[in-house]
Amino acid sequence: MTDAAELRRRTRELLDTHPPATTDRPDFLRARFDAGLAWVHYPQGLGGLGAPRSLQSVVDAELAAAEAPDNDPRRIGIGLGMAAPTILQYGTDAQKRRLLRPLWTGEEVWCQLFSEPGAGSDLAALGTRAVRDGEDWVVGGQKVWTSSAHLARWAILIARTDPDVPKHRGITYFVCDMTDPGVEVRPLRQITGEAEFNEVFLTDVRIPDSHRLGEVGDGWRVAQTTLNNERVAIGGTAIPREGGMIGKVAGTWRERPELRTHDLHQRLLGLWVEAEVARLTGVRLRQQLVAGQPGPEGAGMKLNFARLNQEISGLEVELLGAEGLLYEDWTMRRPELVDFTGRDAGYRYLRSKGNSIEGGTSEVLLNIVAERVLGLPPEPRTDKDVAWKDLAR
């Protein structure tokens, strides 16, 4: 079994054969993947060594000390946090070999084609259709709120393949090539002025059956793997003490004593404690992940992440007064990633409003926590056994 000493040896060998100072970044990342040091808990040949997940920090520390390049995980978070675990669990050997390496190195960006104009909070009501045509599926419909679609080569896609069964049972999960004919990406300008989200129109897009993940009609179960990982990726990210948005507000408080009031001080202390509790809870959640797949607890983390971000950014604007209303750039940009800490307070305040929608609305997550974590009685669902085609829309 691979242990910490063996991982250090392998990492030093990688650094010796591919010195970061003289090796092109893509070449170094490919070599790291091939050495099994990308995500050590993945199988051999797929970027890992079948080692315990907890040992990834051993590799990361060695590479950080050597100032080796990383794969810019914030830029490719959808691929790393959502697509990769789903491909690993449900993909064929050919799919894993083709997709995981360029996903991890960042050479191919991923997006998520799940939500629709009429199926956001109730995702299982989606209406995008996929009809079998020989060895292909012909897909038509509209997706919305798609982060990074303007950058993506691949998308994880769920579509309805059987309208004659209840909504959760007639869905199939696909990998969609975003460069294929019939895929149209349009920007959605947000309250921040940016267009990091998109709407995506699919018009007679042909997807080979070889790009299907899981069984036909079993897409909802496959999608749960993606959604559970998404919530952990959003709400359970590893950060240092006073990292994230609370660090920005605390820094302003220390540097600008003329802004302080007793009321704001009490609120800042309360939010600082809550942010630290959330950070430590995230540590515990990641420890649980070592033993298996993420469960519904990730919904609670993501729920808390959204609430804290909105309260902290609101406090920051109040602390800065009129200065907090300034916004540096209102022109529509197409960013590669969301930057919560490198921008001004006005941006953080506006952008945090989306945190309670993306990755599952807070209302839906409250139901998940109530039913699957606390064991409370589920809400009545009158459409559970009704064929999708007979539902009112």
Q: Which of 62, 108, 230, 297 is catalytic?
A: 230
| Strands 197-208, 136-143: pairing kind | antiparallel
* Cα-to-chain-centroid distance, residue 112: 9
Alpha helices in 23-92 (DSSP H): 25-34, 56-65, 77-78, 84-90
The CA distance from 37 to 162, in Å, is: 41
The span from the CA of 180 to the CA of 163, in Å, is 25
Question: CB of 208 within 8 A of CB of 136?
Answer: yes
Q: Burial code of 88-108, b = ≥16 C-beta within 10 A, e = fewer?
A: bebbeeebbebbbbbbbbbeb
Side chain identity at residue 298, one-letter code? G
Check the CA dihedral 314-317-318-322 and report its sign: negative
Neighbour-count burial of 327, counting CB atoms closer than 10 A to its CB (0-12 exposed, 13-18 middle, 19+ buried): middle
Is 316 a residue of the active site? no
Residue 112, helix vs strand vs coil: strand
CB atoms within 10 A of CB 256: 12
Round the CA-based radius of gyration of the chain to a whole number and report it.
Answer: 22
SS3 234: helix
Residue with tokens 């051993």: 58
- 3-class secondary-structure state, position 187: strand
d(CA 241, CA 131): 50
Supply the residues annotated as catalytic.
230
